[in-house]
Every structure is written in structure tokens, then in C-alpha cells.
């Protein structure tokens, strides 16, 4: 009887080890030497972002407006979004973001051209602060931030969001430039969302 119990215990241990190993995140293009390793693996582990079928993450590829919106809305609302017939795959997410006042439909349409476009850094700040103020109910803080040398390149609808993101510590400048019109990569997006969710105590 004791031998039978020991055998079951051994099987249980082996099964647990196998399950743990199966969940290990191991992308060919993401190693623990990369600056984005922790943000990427953390978000993947939580199911907020995925890699590709060829076992890559493609950290240097641009992230789209829809992809960024999906990650931050899913993580912040715990909603299970479903594709809508004859609509863009992220249209349900887009509608929820509009309803929750995260984004303004007069500024950003729910069409393929908008949702599939590479996400610019200024639009990233716009979405980030939209989530912060209208889902987390963070009090508005759009005081001007000195030292952003290229803030004049930002659009009127995003400039306050950029200031707010800096004021709240979600974004940091290194060389004095924000580069509002540059596209955001998947690695950069992971870092921004990871930091934001950590500050909101949404990640373990």
C-alpha cells in the first residue's frame, strides 16, 4: 500500500514538473539578456499578448492600434471580447473603449485603416491616459512638462495625454525627445503596458 502511494506521489511530482515546463515561455528572439525580456514574458504569461506560430515574438515589429488597444483593455477591464460578424476582429474592443470614453470616435474611427495602422507614440499616450482616467478613474493631471524638445510635433488631441503620462511616471524621457510620430514596436509596447499595469497593481 505504501509503495502504491509513493508511486502516485512520484507520478504527481513528474506531472507537475511537466506542466510547469510546458508553460515556460521560450521565444527564439527573446532571451533574458534583452531589456524587454521581463515585460514580454510577464504579459505573455498573463495571456495579454501572444507570440507567433514560428515560436517568435517579433519584438522589433510595429504594434498596431488595435493590438495595443486589445492588450490594455483586456488587462484593465478583465473583459472577454468576441469578434463581431462582418467587422474588424477588434471592433468589439473598439466599441467598449468608445463607450468607456477611453478614445473618442470622432478622433479615431473603428475602421480597418485606423485599427490596423501602426500605433504612433503619441496615440499610445492617448490610449494609455484614456484608460487611466476613465477605467481606473485617475484624477486628471496634464500640467505642462518642461524639457520635451519635440512636443510641438504632437497633435492637439494627444499633447495633454503626453504631459499626463510623463507627470504620472508612465513614460520617461532620456534624451529630451518623445518622438510622437514614431511607431511603437511590440517590445516598446510591452514595456509601456507592463510598467503601467505594475503601477496599477494588475500584475503579480
Domain of 153, in residue numbers: 25-199
Query: So what's the pLDDT on residue 24?
Result: 61
* Cell numbers given for 145: 512638462
Neighbouring C-beta atoms of residue 72, cutoff 10 Å: 26
Average pLDDT over residues 68-86: 94
What mean pLDDT is predicted for residues 81-107?
96
- pLDDT, residue 6, reads 41
Residue 5 belongs to some domain of the structure: no
Is 200 within 8 Å of 138 (Cβ atoms)? no
172 domain-assigned? yes
Check residue 15 and give its pLDDT.
36
In total, how many domains does the chain have? 1
Confidence of residue 10 (pLDDT cuts 50, 70, 90): very low
Q: Is the pLDDT of residue 3 over 50?
A: no
Instruction: Please report whether residue 137 resides in a domain.
Output: yes
pLDDT, tens digit, for every residue of 22-56?
346 789 999 999 999 999 999 999 999 999 999 99
- pLDDT level of residue 12 (50, 70, 90 thresholds): very low
| Distance of alpha carbon 25 from alpha carbon 64, whole angstroms | 23
- For cell 477611453, the residue is 102
From the number of C-beta atoms within 10 Å of its C-beta (0-12, 13-18, 19+), residue 166 rates as: buried
pLDDT tens by residue, 158-199 = 999 999 999 999 998 678 999 999 999 999 999 999 999 999
16 belongs to a structural domain = no
pTM of the entire predicted model: 0.85
Tell whether 190 is covered by a domain. yes
> 3-state DSSP call for residue 150?
coil
Give a yes or no: residue 164 inside a domain.
Answer: yes
Asked if pLDDT for residue 17 goes beyond 70, the answer is: no
> At 135, is the pLDDT very low, low, confident or very high (cuts 50, 70, 90)?
very high
Residue 26, pLDDT score: 84
Residue 177 covered by a domain: yes
In this predicted structure, what is the pLDDT of residue 175?
Answer: 86
Asked, for residue 6, whether it belongs to a domain, the answer is: no
Amino acid at each position: 500500500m505504501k509503495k502504491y502511494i509513493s508511486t502516485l506521489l512520484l507520478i504527481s511530482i513528474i506531472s507537475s514538473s511537466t506542466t510547469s515546463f510546458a508553460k515556460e515561455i521560450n521565444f527564439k528572439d527573446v532571451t533574458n539578456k534583452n531589456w524587454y525580456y521581463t515585460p514580454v514574458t510577464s504579459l505573455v504569461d498573463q495571456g495579454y499578448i501572444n507570440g507567433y506560430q514560428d515560436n517568435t515574438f517579433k519584438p522589433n515589429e510595429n504594434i498596431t492600434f488595435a493590438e495595443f488597444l486589445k492588450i490594455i483593455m483586456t488587462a484593465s477591464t478583465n473583459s472577454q471580447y468576441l469578434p463581431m460578424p462582418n467587422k474588424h476582429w477588434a471592433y468589439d474592443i473598439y466599441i467598449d473603449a468608445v463607450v468607456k470614453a477611453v478614445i473618442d470616435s470622432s478622433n479615431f474611427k473603428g475602421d480597418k485603416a485606423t485599427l490596423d495602422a501602426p500605433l504612433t507614440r503619441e496615440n499610445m499616450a492617448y490610449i494609455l491616459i484614456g484608460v487611466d482616467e476613465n477605467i481606473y478613474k485617475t484624477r486628471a493631471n496634464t500640467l505642462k512638462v518642461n524639457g520635451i524638445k519635440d512636443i510641438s510635433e504632437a497633435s492637439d488631441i494627444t499633447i495633454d495625454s503626453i504631459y499626463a503620462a510623463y507627470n504620472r511616471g508612465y513614460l520617461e524621457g532620456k534624451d529630451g525627445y518623445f518622438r510622437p510620430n514614431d511607431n511603437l514596436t511590440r517590445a516598446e509596447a510591452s514595456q509601456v503596458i507592463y510598467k503601467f499595469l505594475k503601477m496599477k497593481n494588475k500584475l503579480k
